Structure 1
Amino acid sequence: MTSHVLLSISGLHKAFGGLIAVNQMQFDICEGEIIGLLGPNGSGKTTVINLISGALSPNDGKVVLDGKDITNLPAHKISHAGIARTFQLVRILPDLDCIENIEAGLAYRTKPLWGHDAHTAAYELLERIGLEKHAHTPAGDLTYIDQKRLELGRALALQPKLLLLDEWLAGLNPSELQDGITLVRKLKHEGLTIIMVEHVMDAIRSLCDRCVVMNAGAKIADGSPDAVLSDGEVIRAYLGDSHA
């Protein structure tokens, strides 16, 4: 039985003036898979996330979600098609409490929720991400890990088929990191499909089914974490020729 391809990107190309940020990028991700999108700083990973989510439009290439071509759709239509994301710099509504932050997300999904239904669904989502004790805490007063949890909760409020995590585990201390890994693993067990841009190799090894590695805008490897992380070209990209 073949796995269902949820997202397929092909020939994806993005240049900013003379700088080619993404060069003929292509990969597929199957339903329920977690893919790590890896590469040294400046390799084009976040640009790929921006192209998939609609924050940027490609110069060339295609993005197909669940058989539907979503290339060049505006970001809100891509969100309604089933893609949600987090950002490198946490985006929350700091003056609202946690439950209000989630309710704001619920108001923007394909079938919006309001009033009592939204309040109930928001509390259930806070339980899912481990923030129910902070339902009425202003988001700006949360710890860094809990702000990240809240941003993740707002993404989950959109009921995505595909979740894009852009360095979601960055900046966490060792115990917070384990909590974060546990939460992402839980989402995987719930059947969510995830693309993670990540530099934390412990997380990559423990969470990812596959890794796609970029360097200078192009894909240089695609395979299991162990195979990819021991690949000579990948080691050269990260550490230079003397280590390969």
Structure 2
Amino acid sequence: MSAEILLSVSGLHKAFGGLIAVNQMQFDVHKGEILGLLGPNGSGKTTVMNLISGALPPNEGKVVLAGRDITSLPAHTISHAGIARTFQLVRILPDLDCIENIEAGLAFRPGPLWGDAAKLAARALLDRIGLADHAHTPAGDLTYIDQKRLELGRALALQPKLLLLDEWLAGLNPSELQEGIALVRKLKSEGLTIIMVEHVMDAIRSLCDRCVVMNTGTKIADGTPETVLADPEVIRAYLGDAHA
């Protein structure tokens, strides 16, 4: 794994009134790795993703992507800088077909594509995510996993350096889960750097190079999946004192 740092988060802090959602968060993501962002529900994981992607501004702290300070920049500027994401609830354009959904993403990337060039690129992306046979299927008619594939494809259309996956594997049946894991692994093999918020332990163990674990807004562990999942403080955060 390359030692080059692609993303550096330091002193990141976000409060909503009296509730501290993210408390002095700090971690680095190395180029080409998959970092798992773990923690029980309500621990602040999605807020961290929102702070990195520009959906929310931090109260304090810094986010640096490939040496560029992107803290508090607008979301579209951060997207152009090289960060794309998926969401917990799938966001697609249900009345458009799959190729049109991908073309919508291609229109907003740096160096946007239109017309025949966009159609060609969209077809290549659909093939990359396993939807080549559904180019003209309305997005709203797809199965759940294929809607997730489509949302992922639209994120990839932005040509990200860093992909944020927010529980992308949630809600899949066992065979779909294996398909999803294989697709994420393929993206990593293509050189993409990924942060994934995830609860599916099979996926975490098989995909993540490193994990950062949060509890009540604070980082409580940082290391390999094997190390952090055996950490008594992590077990306590997930399962309660009786299991630690």
Q: Specify if TM > 0.5.
A: yes
Structure 2 residue aligned with 1:9: 9
Structure 1 residue aligned with 2:143: 143
Cα separation, 2, equivalents of 1:75 and 1:90: 18
**Cα distance per residue 1:96-122 (max 9 Å; x no partner):** 000000000000001000000000000
| Structure 2 residue runs without a partner (length 5+) | none
**Cα distance per residue 1:164-189 (max 9 Å; x no partner):** 00000000000000000000000000
Cα separation, 2, equivalents of 1:79 and 1:28: 19
What fraction of aligned residue pairs are identical, expressed as a percent?
84
Cα separation, 2, equivalents of 1:236 and 1:163: 30
| 2:96 matches 1:96 | yes
Cα separation, 2, equivalents of 1:3 and 1:170: 30
Matches within 5 A, 1:218-229: 218-229=218-229
CA-based RMSD: 0.8
Cα separation, 1, equivalents of 2:19 and 2:64: 25
Whether the 8 Å CA contact 2:32–2:188 is kept in 1: the answer is: yes
**Cα distance per residue 1:109-152 (max 9 Å; x no partner):** 01000000000000000000000100000000000000000000
Seen in structure 2, the aligned counterparts of structure 1 residues 149 and 2 have a Cα distance that, compared at 3 Å, is closer
**Cα distance per residue 1:166-225 (max 9 Å; x no partner):** 000000000000000000000000000000000000000000000000000000000000
| 2:229 matches 1:213 | no
Seen in structure 2, the aligned counterparts of structure 1 residues 2 and 101 have a Cα distance that, compared at 3 Å, is closer
Structure 1 residue aligned with 2:119: 119
Cα separation, 1, equivalents of 2:2 and 2:216: 32
Cα separation, 1, equivalents of 2:68 and 2:92: 30
Displacement after TM superposition at 1:3 (Å):
1.2
Matches within 5 A, 1:11-90: 11-90=11-90
Matches within 5 A, 1:113-192: 113-192=113-192
Cα separation, 1, equivalents of 2:193 and 2:61: 22
Cα separation, 1, equivalents of 2:9 and 2:66: 11
TM-score of the superposed pair, with normalisation by structure 1: 0.99
Cα separation, 1, equivalents of 2:58 and 2:6: 20
TM-score of the superposed pair, with normalisation by structure 2: 0.99
Cα separation, 2, equivalents of 1:111 and 1:163: 19
Structure 1 runs of 4+ off > 6 angstroms? Answer: none
Whether the 8 Å CA contact 2:2–2:31 is kept in 1: the answer is: no
Q: How many equivalent residue pairs?
A: 244
